[in-house]
Amino acid sequence: MAKYSEEFKYSIMMKMMPPHNQAVSVIARETGLSEATLHQWRRQARSKGMAVPGGEVSTIPQIEKIGYDKLDILLSMYREKAEWLNKIGQPMWSMEYLKKENFIKKYNDPECFITYINDIPIGGFILVKSDDFLWGADSHLGAYYIHKLVVKNGYTGQGNAQKIISWIEEYAGKAGKEKVRLDCYEDRKYLLQLYTSCGFNLLEVKIMPDGTRIAQYEKALKKS
């Protein structure tokens, strides 16, 4: 991955500022930088107090891999969604496991990602390289496991979940993975429909000791 100096990043940010006011898409075409990289640099500049304009309105999700210093942003979206699911009678995530230390421990040092649209966090997910509890001792072989995929209310029903999953598949392929896997409660029909529409195959429905039925899905990745 190419590394760029702070001076170069600053020069790019200045293109977004008056009097230039160049759009991210224009700068991407001119420089060969990806729009995702430019959005990330803009977020970083804003976090340092630089008043970079928002630019054009975009509906394309941008995904950023984050460190644990930003994990609270992701966890806040999980808590918000968990509260809403509780209100509609479809509880899913325990608030106890949405505490930072518990979350990291439960998922064994996960890779964490936030999804943005126009630099606004609208969702996220985590990836883990093994899941022995549900998938067995050989779960580490060739797979990425998607957990805690969330899209905030107000951004659902717009194809964002599908776009995120497509991005994960590309990311997993570049990491040398042969497949991606995920699971969900079998009674969540909207999730079953989403995963099926994205090309996942149902492998098994596992019945837990308390009677909960967990649907396990897998999608083989195309070899490049």
pLDDT in tens, 172-213: 999 999 999 999 999 999 999 999 999 999 999 999 999 999
Count of domains forming the chain:
2
**For residue 5, which amino acid is it?**
S
Query: Is residue 1 situated within a structural domain?
Result: no
Q: Is 218 in contact with 201 (CB distance < 8 Å)?
A: yes
51 and 67 both lie in a single domain: no
Tell me the pLDDT tens digit for each residue of 45-103. Answer: 888 877 776 655 567 788 999 999 999 999 999 999 999 999 999 999 999 999 999 99
Domain CATH code at residue 195: 3.40.630.30
Task: Tell me: do 125 and 208 sit in the same domain.
Answer: yes
Looking at residues 107-136, what average pLDDT do you find? 91
Whole-number Cα distances in Å, 15 to 22, 26, 69, 168: 6, 10, 29, 31
Q: Among residues of the chain, what percentage have pLDDT more than 70?
A: 96
Asked whether residue 157 falls in the same domain as residue 206, the answer is yes
**What residue numbers bound the domain in which 52 lies?**
6-56
Q: Is 212 helix (H, G, I), strand (E, B) or coil?
A: coil
Query: CA-CA distance, 98 to 105, in Å (whole number)?
Result: 11
